Structure 1
Amino acid sequence: MTEQQQRPPAPISDVLRVHGFAALEPGPKLIVLGGVHGDETCGTEGIARTLAELDSGALTLLRGRLTMVPVANPLARRLMRREGERNLNRLFQPTRAGEQPADYESRITDLLCPLLDAHDVLLDLHSFQSAGEAFAMIGPRDNSGTLEPFSRAYEEGQLALHLGTPRVVEGWLDIYAAGLAQRAGGKPADDSAIAFGKGTNEYMRSRGGYGVTLECGQHQDPAAPEVAHRAIHAALRLLGMIGADPQAAPPPAPTLLRLVSVTDRDSEDDRFVREWATFDRVARGEPIGVRAGGRVLAAERDGFIVFPNSAALPGTEWFYFAVESERDLRQPAASGRP
């Protein structure tokens, strides 16, 4: 028996499976991630179906390179919880030269960052805790600012548009930075604090590419894996990496929402006035939650609840608030931030 045969199989927490396909015809380079959060399994299932189609010949890559990572955080998946040691979709950056990775997710990031560096486009497949419909999240409009400079907003918007979700949400990093300032009593957050809000898509944009996060539905929604599978096909078609679908109709324009605020949970006794679902519409003045001391939190304007989390820990995000955006994904986005 050889040394390799004697060696026991590596535990799942130490193995990152990466599947790569390269067509002979050059073209775009797309990477698809699933399982960035361990309890979000729809992306893994959507990738598995696509892998089976490619292996069987039912789906053919015509040009470019396709890389798929079914479980981007194996430890979190083995534990079937959101995180292993921390949130993989925060502080997504390689370990600095001469330093040691601080935790499990940092070691995984050191493997994933070079993969993203080698690609043009990222599709990151997720799901969410509360009830609600699938939606896509995109980054900033073209800008030369310091928070997240970007010049590929139109391409990113086109990808989000073609994924077929009824809603697309913009404005994540702006509101994350505003939330940090809010917790610090109005003092602007420094770069190290803002870096913790940067995930896979923000890293992809910083490397000259673009990326979309697709929230495929609630964690246990039986339709979520199909949403993920369709999205992979839609991205491949849009990029010309697989054949066009002659029966496909042009994608309908989704409702575009812009995040405008985040509210933290201050106490375990803070409570919602009812069980909210992502994208529940609220009117100005409508009660949303009640603080431990009895103060009612009401909507300051007409808008939508996003990512309500009744189990949020004190000092963390309780819910986000969004309003309708005037941006049209079918047209090149205007530069500058709204």
Structure 2
Amino acid sequence: MTSSYQTQFKSINYTAMKPGVRLIVTGAVHGNETCGTTAIRRVMEEIDTGKLHIAAGSVTFVPVVNTKAYELGQRGGDRNLNRNLFPNEAPQDFEDHVANWLCPLLERHEVLLDLHSFNAQSQPFVMVGPRNNGGLLEPFRHAEKERALARRLGVKRFVDGWLRTYGQGVKRRNKGGSEELSLQLRYGVGTTEYMRSTGGYALTLECGQHQDPQAPEVAYRAIMNTLAFLGVIDAPSPDPIPLEDMEALSMVEVHDKLADGDTFSRTWSSFDKVAKGEQIGVRADGTPVVAEFDALILFPDTNAKANHEWYYLAQVNRHFDKYMDT
């Protein structure tokens, strides 16, 4: 019997008579990250029962983006959907079919809130995009709006610099020509990067550890705050997190596994501090891997394969508030 994930995708839209912002909220881009799914379904139930009313604009909910990965209870179906997210005229795997449905859906909206969770215990955080720029890597013009929304999600930790840092790693490891480099840079594009490429703005909210019972609450609060702040529901706009209470970080380096035998020297979690000269891991040939400067570790991946991202380093960003409203 053919499983439903192989034959259909689902989104639910609520549109008010009064014009306004077109918002899309997504969950389970990674199938084992279900806090967003739980929160989205909770909000939809409140709308369907009349407890909540869409007053202006519209909101589209996608409780489960990657249906195959969700059904299997794992991060990806055939691969990581949040890489190389583009329409594909000759889809090769399940995630290509998801992209062919999801990308046009994103294009019809102005704002994306993408809800995720992570492996190790840590505080929730929000990933924001670049400053306004006209560059080739990630041109953008909505930094003020994006960061204003980020401050209303209810979390205090903010991280930027993903695609720029990823791109630096690609350039370092690239041994081919410019065409190969371009293809590799595309691999760093996920939901939020694609949304920005279409003229919108987007946030990735990491709501907590996968099994943390508070993670769905973090996701629910973020959805409600977003709906209120954008005027989609008739509710008081949430106050922004004060600048002095924010922890703003920028990703600055990515380090790859060079061999499958590379190992960490301890169990690292995102946002663990590492001092200059401190050992982070050891290469398969016995060479120690040490921090070249004081930093925080992000996204340590014990299961990374050779020539893939192993861990990122971040530092405090003292200029994060350039595009903040006060």
TM range (shorter): over 0.9
* 187-196 vs 251-260, greater mean Cα deviation: 187-196
| Corresponding position of 2:286 | 294
The reply on whether 1:199 has 2:172 as its aligned counterpart is no
The reply on whether 1:316 has 2:305 as its aligned counterpart is no
* 85-94 vs 27-36, greater mean Cα deviation: 85-94
The 8 Å contact of residues 13 and 78 in structure 1, kept in 2 or not, is answered as no
Query: Within 2, Cα distance between the matches of 1:178 and 1:314?
Result: 18
The reply on whether 1:304 has 2:296 as its aligned counterpart is yes
Query: Within 1, Cα distance between the matches of 2:280 and 2:103?
Result: 39
- Pair 1:301–1:186, CA change in 2 (3 A): farther
2:227 aligned to which of 236, 245, 250: 236
* 234-243 vs 264-273, greater mean Cα deviation: 264-273
Q: How does 1:97-176 map to 2 (within 5 A)?
A: 99-176=89-166
Query: Within 2, Cα distance between the matches of 1:270 and 1:207?
Result: 39
Aligned partner of 2:42: which letter?
A: R
Query: Once the 2 structures are TM-superposed, how far is the Cα of residue 177 of structure 1 from its aligned partner?
Result: 1.0
Query: Once the 2 structures are TM-superposed, how far is the Cα of residue 315 of structure 1 from its aligned partner?
Result: 1.9
TM-score, normalised to structure 1, is 0.90
| Corresponding position of 1:282 | 274
Query: Once the 2 structures are TM-superposed, how far is the Cα of residue 294 of structure 1 from its aligned partner?
Result: 2.2
| Corresponding position of 1:336 | none
- Pair 1:269–1:39, CA change in 2 (3 A): same
Aligned partner of 1:320: which letter?
A: Y
SS of the residue aligned with 1:274?
coil
Aligned partner of 1:182: which letter?
A: R
Percent identity between the two aligned chains: 46
1:43 aligned to which of 36, 42, 67: 36
The 8 Å contact of residues 297 and 314 in structure 2, kept in 1 or not, is answered as yes
- Pair 1:54–1:9, CA change in 2 (3 A): farther
The 8 Å contact of residues 283 and 299 in structure 1, kept in 2 or not, is answered as yes
Query: Within 1, Cα distance between the matches of 2:260 and 2:139?
Result: 37
User: Aligned pairs, how many?
Assistant: 322
The 8 Å contact of residues 126 and 206 in structure 2, kept in 1 or not, is answered as yes
2:214 aligned to which of 219, 223, 237: 223
| Corresponding position of 2:262 | 270
SS of the residue aligned with 1:27?
coil
Cα offsets for 1:253-273 (capped at 9, x unmatched): 321111000111223332222
SS of the residue aligned with 2:20?
strand
Aligned partner of 2:120: which letter?
A: S
TM-score, normalised to structure 2, is 0.93
* 270-279 vs 118-127, greater mean Cα deviation: 270-279
Cα offsets for 1:204-255 (capped at 9, x unmatched): 1111100000111111111111111111011111101113348x55423321
The 8 Å contact of residues 288 and 298 in structure 1, kept in 2 or not, is answered as yes
| Corresponding position of 1:90 | 83
Query: Once the 2 structures are TM-superposed, how far is the Cα of residue 135 of structure 1 from its aligned partner?
Result: 0.6
Give unmatched runs, 5+ long, in structure 1: 1-7, 334-338
Query: Once the 2 structures are TM-superposed, how far is the Cα of residue 318 of structure 1 from its aligned partner?
Result: 1.1
- Pair 1:269–1:329, CA change in 2 (3 A): same
- Pair 1:59–1:150, CA change in 2 (3 A): same
| Corresponding position of 2:53 | 60
Query: Within 1, Cα distance between the matches of 2:320 and 2:136?
Result: 24
Query: Once the 2 structures are TM-superposed, how far is the Cα of residue 133 of structure 1 from its aligned partner?
Result: 1.2
Query: Once the 2 structures are TM-superposed, how far is the Cα of residue 10 of structure 1 from its aligned partner?
Result: 6.1
Over the residues paired in the alignment, what is the CA RMSD in angstroms?
2.0
Query: Within 2, Cα distance between the matches of 1:166 and 1:292?
Result: 38
SS of the residue aligned with 1:293?
coil
SS of the residue aligned with 1:297?
strand
The 8 Å contact of residues 46 and 225 in structure 1, kept in 2 or not, is answered as yes
Query: Once the 2 structures are TM-superposed, how far is the Cα of residue 305 of structure 1 from its aligned partner?
Result: 0.6
SS of the residue aligned with 1:32?
strand
| Corresponding position of 2:168 | 178
Query: Within 2, Cα distance between the matches of 1:249 and 1:113?
Result: 32
Cα offsets for 1:125-178 (capped at 9, x unmatched): 111122211111011110111111111111111111111212111011111111
| Corresponding position of 1:5 | none
Aligned partner of 2:19: which letter?
A: P
Aligned partner of 2:263: which letter?
A: R
